[in-house]
Amino acid sequence: MVEPHHKRRSFGVSAIGQLALPVRDLRRAVAFYRELLRVPFLFEAPPGLAFFDCAGVRLMLDTTIAQNSVSGASTLYYRVEDISFAYDTLQSRGIKFEDAPHLIHKFPDHELWMCFFRDTEGNHLALMSEIRQARAV
């Protein structure tokens, strides 16, 4: 059944259901996401796929697209409450960051902080934290 024209014009997408990342070595990549980042592991499937749960969004590690794509072409931004704590924790697990947490932008009611690193496959990752500012009374 085809939707009426007026409904098709108002349709828009906003929720991400799944993200795919190219990986060359599935075992190594699964260990990185499962053991170092501690993203909840869901399952593996042929031919070279692994799935993780990122707060309701599935992350798919895929060896088949790695053969045909440029590594590091996308960046995954992980939202964290306390970026300093997350940074220190991941560093203690051996993750090498490209930079320390730093201010990206000041909004009227919060600040956006980020820091960047790469997974074992060269994919660009980031921690992001939106820090609310206390209101003056």
- Of 17 and 53, more confident: 53
Average pLDDT of the chain, as a whole number: 86
Tell how far CA 47 is from the center of its chain. 23
- Of 64 and 5, more confident: 64
Q: Tell me the percentage of the chain whose pLDDT exceeds 70.
A: 82
Domains of the chain: 16-132 (3.10.180.10)
47, two tokens: 């031919």
pLDDT confidence band for 135 (50 / 70 / 90): low
pLDDT confidence band for 68 (50 / 70 / 90): low
- Could you identify the residue written with the tokens 């980042």? 37
pTM over 0.85, yes/no: no
Give the CA distances from residue 17 to residues 23, 34, 64, 119, in Å, rounded to whole numbers and listed in that order: 19, 20, 20, 21
Is pLDDT of 62 > 60? Answer: yes
pLDDT confidence band for 45 (50 / 70 / 90): very high
Predicted pLDDT at 7: 56
